[in-house]
Structure 1
Amino acid sequence: MKILAFAASSSKQSINKALANYAASLVDGAEVELIDINDYEMAIYSSDRENESGIPLAAQQFYQKISEADAIVISFAEHNGSYTAAYKNLFDWTSRINMKVYQNKPMVLLATSPGPGGAQSVLNAAITSAPFFAADVKGSLSLPSFYEHFDVETQQIRSPEWLDKLATTMASLTY
């Protein structure tokens, strides 16, 4: 199984990128490709830009990465209760190629934050909208208080309770 994993965050020190990478590594025998959405940065979407210049190559390349994957793991950062601007823009451009952005791929949606909310608002938004974009969400998990439960040095969850919850969520990709 080839898993495409990424954080819906443009932060170079993204805790969501660490979580996505670690979560994907829990799937036995999977080949994990961790991408950085900063590599797909482009001008803010507008219909005027699309009419003038077409769909940027970066959006096409992102769509192709999804096509090549057997499964997808996304961990969402939350900005003011919603998606980050970087992710939303990438998603908006990619949806102009095909509204079925996620191409019926099995997915696990995650979110984390330093605080006790665990970016639950944006995760709920992602789960709710996923079916409209051909996402086959197999599982989801919000990890609250990231630094309390995740060891940044070893890049893994230190809390047995949360490790069990994450492993169970990730196992949903193989059912």
Structure 2
Amino acid sequence: MVAVVAAKPLIRVAALCGSLRKGSYNQGLLRSAIELSKEINGLHVESVDIATLPMLNTDLEVDGTYPSAVEAFRQKIKGADSILFASPEYNFSVTAPLKNAIDWASRPPNIWADKAAAIVSAGGGFGGGRSQYHLRQTGVFVDLHFINKPEFFLNAFQPPAKFDSDGNLIDASAKETLKEVLLSLQAYTLRLQGKN
């Protein structure tokens, strides 16, 4: 008799990076997350670009409609089951592009509401930890549900090298923890959806 393994429901994860820099280590984390998700049954991670979003200005909302770049972004977030943020730290907080994206998607109707979320960060010092604290505070107001563990803060500048010259994650331990974040996000999303 052949054992049949049931496929898990597909969880679609929208991955947002707070850095617009091409060689960003946080972009490297998302590239690794996309690759690692291919090893996880029932999980699909897709990067969502926030670089084209105009700065939030409610004058750009006309008769309940948004600029095309904003509407396309909102539809990608709306269609996702959960969110993965790669949040670098600027001045002890989240970056302006990431906060701008959060604000656009929170405009009526708030499309963040009731989605599971996780945060990963790479940087100096605390590896972006302070930005995660502020992002979690914002998440409370927009009704995001963040996983608590595992936490992922990576000091990108402390030897040995964590990234190659193209900004790709090469640290095996960090990749293992990143995969644990994805598995935890998947499980939490299923729990919120009442599917496990």
Q: What interval of TM-score do these two structures reach, taking the shorter chain for normalisation?
A: 0.7 to 0.9
Secondary structure of the residue aligned to 1:149 is: coil
Aligned counterpart for 1:41 among listed residues 53, 67, 79:
53
Q: Equivalent residues in 2 for 1:130-169 (5 A)?
A: 130-138=139-147, 139=149, 140-145=151-156, 148-152=161-165, 155-160=168-173, 162-169=174-181
Asked whether the 8 Å contact 1:66–1:103 carries over to 2, the reply is no
Aligned residue number for residue 61 of structure 1: 72
Alpha-carbon shift at residue 122 of structure 1 (Å): 0.7
Aligned residue number for residue 19 of structure 2: 9
Q: Equivalent residues in 2 for 1:12-23 (5 A)?
A: 12-23=22-33
1:105-160 deviations in Å (ceiling 9; x for gaps): 221111111x2321111111112221221212124421122573234559334242
| Letter in structure 2 aligned against 1:9 | S
Tell whether 2:123 aligns with 1:110.
no
Asked whether the 8 Å contact 2:93–2:131 carries over to 1, the reply is yes
Q: Percent identity?
A: 27
Unpaired segments ≥5 residues, structure 1: none
Distance 1:52 1:9, change over 3 A: farther
Secondary structure of the residue aligned to 1:6 is: strand
Alpha-carbon shift at residue 91 of structure 1 (Å): 2.2
RMSD: 2.6
Q: Structure 1 length as normaliser, TM-score?
A: 0.81
Aligned residue number for residue 170 of structure 1: 182
Say which one has the larger Rg.
Answer: 2
Query: 103-112 or 142-151: which moved more?
Result: 142-151
The structure with more helix, counted as a fraction of residues: 1
Q: What number of residue pairs does the alignment pair up?
A: 170
Secondary structure of the residue aligned to 2:94 is: coil
Asked whether the 8 Å contact 2:112–2:143 carries over to 1, the reply is yes
The structure with more strand, counted as a fraction of residues: 1
Secondary structure of the residue aligned to 2:23 is: coil
Asked whether the 8 Å contact 1:55–1:96 carries over to 2, the reply is no
| Letter in structure 2 aligned against 1:104 | D
